[in-house]
């Protein structure tokens, strides 16, 4: 057996992890035909069939499983070693894979990514929006935007970039029909819309004078974008992250209720795998997020 081309091993690992030549090609940014040829040549070099191929699926053979168990970790370590080397080109290039919650992706990340790509025309960004917490290393993501009270995973680096807060909103048509609350007790009898995870709304004027109030909800959901649409449709009064209602306030679609009160909703972090030297594309994206939110914070300054 002669020398094995490492690029073919990279193709092999990508196909093994995605169970698809097409998805592996997308991950690698290559034509499917290049990946297929690379795998075929690797099988010839090894004298072993590595995959069972059918019209519906691609699975590892016994030899393929053995190769993957030994090759995947070594290739990951090699990629990390190469990724920590200072890039020589002036322009960022390649693929940056970013994941974020759905509401952040639609209302904030889209604008951020567009600006980032305009600043770095050689970079390509792939975004995955989901409500679940993504395994960055296992699923091949470079960086994540996450909202949490605190992050404890020691294998990740988390940079705090903005605090989050919620405020009460309603549509003008709802308020015209039901009246506008002027103080907390006025919320009694109104149709309350809330997120499923919020069992008790803590409304506060400031950190030194907290005030708690149980709000009995008429509509409950697990997605803030859905709740925003309910409020737009005059479905009641509800708590939204303040950044989600920014455009609605500007156009008059929604009105802020009891603006002197607010609810802390955690902190936004930029998260990426820990490394002694962070890849330049990741560090540049992280710094861009920090720069943008310094001038355009997601919550009002207090």
Whether the CA torsion 244, 250, 254, 257 is positive or negative: it is: positive
Question: Where would I find the H helices in 49-100?
Answer: 62-83
How far apart, in whole angstroms, are the C-alpha atoms of residue 131 and residue 134?
9
Residue 75 to residue 11: CA distance in whole angstroms:
11
Query: CATH assignment of 164-265, given 2.40.440.10, 3.40.50.10320, 2.170.16.10, 3.40.190.290?
Result: 3.40.190.290
Q: Is the dihedral of CA 259, 264, 266, 267 positive or negative?
A: positive
Residue pair 19/12 in contact (Cβ under 8 Å)? The answer is no
Domain boundaries, the chain: 6-83, 94-161+267-295, 164-265
CA dihedral (159, 162, 168, 172) in degrees, to 10, reads: -130
Q: Is residue 60 scored above 70 in pLDDT?
A: yes
pLDDT at 204: 53
- 94-161+267-295 shares its CATH topology with 164-265: yes
Residue pair 293/161 in contact (Cβ under 8 Å)? The answer is yes
pLDDT recorded at residue 201: 52
Residue 213, pLDDT score? 55
On the 0-12 / 13-18 / 19+ scale of CB atoms within 10 A, 252 is exposed
pLDDT for position 152: 62
Q: Which of 49-58, 108-117, 198-207 has the lowest mean pLDDT?
A: 198-207
Q: What is the distance between the alpha carbons of residues 148 and 266, in angstroms, rounded to a whole number? A: 5
Decide: 174 and 237 in contact? Cβ < 8 Å: yes
* Per-residue pLDDT tens over the stretch 120-174: 988 999 999 887 878 888 888 999 998 875 566 667 888 888 888 888 999 999 9
Task: Please identify, in words, the CATH class of the domain defined by 94-161+267-295.
Answer: alpha beta
Is CATH 1.10.645.10 the right assignment for the domain spanning 6-83? no
Tokens coding 134: 């993504």
pLDDT at res. 210: 47
The pairing of beta strand 263-273 with beta strand 143-148: antiparallel
Structure tokens at 3: 């020398």
Query: Is the pLDDT assigned to residue 235 strictly greater than 80?
Result: yes
């Amino acid at each position: 057996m002669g020398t094995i081309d490492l690029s073919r091993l990279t193709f092999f690992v990508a196909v093994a992890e995605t169970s698809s030549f097409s998805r592996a090609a997308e991950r690698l940014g290559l034509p499917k035909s290049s990946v297929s040829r690379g795998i075929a040549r690797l099988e010839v070099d090894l004298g072993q069939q590595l995959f069972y191929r059918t019209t519906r699926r691609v699975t590892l053979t016994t030899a393929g499983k053995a190769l993957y168990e030994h090759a995947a970790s070594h290739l990951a370590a090699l990629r990390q070693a190469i990724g920590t080397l200072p890039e020589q080109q002036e322009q960022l290039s390649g693929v940056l894979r970013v994941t974020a919650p759905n509401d952040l992706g639609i209302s904030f990340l889209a604008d951020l990514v567009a600006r980032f790509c305009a600043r770095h025309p050689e970079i390509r960004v792939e975004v995955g929006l989901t409500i679940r917490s993504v395994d960055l290393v296992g699923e091949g993501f470079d960086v994540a935007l996450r909202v949490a009270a605190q992050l404890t995973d020691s294998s990740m680096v988390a940079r705090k970039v903005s605090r989050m807060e919620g405020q009460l909103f309603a549509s003008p048509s709802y308020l015209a029909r039901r009246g506008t609350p002027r103080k907390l007790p006025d919320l009694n009898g109104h149709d309350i819309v809330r997120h499923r995870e919020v069992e008790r709304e803590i409304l506060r004027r400031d950190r030194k004078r907290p005030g708690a109030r149980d709000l009995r909800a008429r509509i409950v959901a697990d997605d803030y974008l859905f709740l925003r649409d309910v409020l737009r449709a005059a479905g009641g009064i509800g708590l939204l992250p303040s950044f989600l209602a920014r455009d609605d306030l500007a156009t008059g679609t929604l009105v802020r209720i009891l603006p002197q009160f607010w609810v802390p909703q955690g902190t936004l972090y930029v998260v990426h795998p820990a490394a002694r030297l962070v890849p330049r594309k990741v560090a540049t994206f992280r710094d861009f997020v920090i720069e943008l939110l310094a001038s355009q914070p997601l919550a009002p300054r207090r």
